[in-house]
Copies of this chain bind each other. A is one copy, B any other.
Amino acid sequence: MKNYPYPMLQRPNFIWERHTDQTSDIKVHEWIGTARESVPDFSEYDVTILGAPLSKSSISTSAASENPDAMREAWKSFGTYNLDEDIDLSQLKAIDLGNVKQHVTDIAYSQQKTREAMAAMRSHHPHTLPITMGGDHSITAELVKGWKEAHPEETIGILQLDTHFDLRSLDELGPANGTPIRNLIESGTVEGKHVHNIGLQGFFNAKELKDYADEVGLNYTTLKQARKKGIDVVIHEALTQLDKQVDTIYLTVDMDVLDIIHGPATPAAAPGGMYSAELFEAVQIAGEHSRVKAMDIVCLDPRKDVGQITVKNAVYTMLSFLVGYCKKR
């Protein structure tokens, strides 16, 4: 047992490990309860699950703050064994750390705590794979900055699956869900040429954003282009290119990359998007790559969901990534 190294996390309501059996049951971890001040040795864990329930930074009203708990609930209807790949995720020791502390009226505070959570996690347990359930896309800027704080020597690349560039002006919006990639570029955390955005489509990005992307050398592939080449091919190409350029690849999945039929519960849900089978394949390939060391899923507002379609797709996406991660091992 060690002392609790995460003062920026809320007292966790739901701290659990995933069972290894098929019952999808949840084994409540022993450090809920009297021993709450100390934690087990994290070095024994392969994966941490973190909730970053911030959505006050969304352009339109979003309850993405409720997504971490919604995903935890939906997760119960999934098992750990993947029949197609004959892989059982129960081989991974995973722990849910609960959620980052939030402030009711101070958005900057909540973002700082998110950044600190990633930095602390990387400092204390550098061999654990962190998966973050957003929250809106503004958290990605914080999480990558937190990583950079812990590993200032590393060059970081981003693989972004998104309908949008997320390159809108910080002057206009501040650190909102429309600006994280620009935030990372302008702050010098990530170079434009180390960002690969796949899935852009339709009428949802202004011409100016494309011009900015071209200016900073950002790589992007529209969904139509990706389908022509094969989405698997495009993902492999992006990873291969980044492999030569960066130390760590951060995978960020904005759930609005999905067509509205698969993802009705995103604030910007729109037709013309990716099918969930395409997304599952893309993240599984990413999970197999040795430089992909962190992942987040953002912009899912469960209050807008229809029959849990989007939340279940988010869990399936997270688990598909872990299937890839297991294949790599």
Contact = CB atoms under 8 A, between A and B. Distances in A.
Contacts of A147: none
For chain A, the bracket of interface size reads: 35 or more
Contacts of A312: 260, 269-271
A247 interface: no
A201 B174 CA distance: 40
A209 B22 contact: yes
**Among A21, A138, A306, residue most surrounded by chain B Cβ atoms (within 10 Å):** A306
Interface in A1-54: 13, 21-23, 26, 28-35
Interface in A72-106: 77-84, 88-89, 103-106
Given A21-B206, A78-B270, 4 more contacts: A28-B32, A261-B261, A271-B312, A304-B307
Given A271-B262, A312-B270, A81 B34 contact: no
Given A207-B88, A319-B203, A104 B59 contact: yes
Interface string A198-237: 0011111111111000000000001111000000000000
Contacts of A313: 260, 271
A52 to B, nearest CB: 14
Given A260-B307, A264-B307, A280-B272, A316 B203 contact: yes
Contacts of A89: 203
B107 A206 contact: no
A296 B34 CA distance: 32
A252 interface: no
The 5 A-B pairs at the shortest CB distance, nearest first, are namely A22-B206, A105-B174, A264-B307, A30-B33, A61-B63
A134 interface: no
A206 B261 contact: no
**Assembly of this chain: how many copies?**
6
A276 B271 contact: yes
A324 B30 CA distance: 37
A130 interface: no
A66 interface: yes
Contacts of A32: 28, 32-33
Given A260-B309, A269-B307, A270-B316, A104 B57 contact: yes
Interface string A293-312: 00000000001101111001
A56 interface: yes
Contacts of A56: 56, 105, 107
Nearest to A58: B104
B262 A262 contact: no
Interface in A168-215: 173-176, 178, 200-210
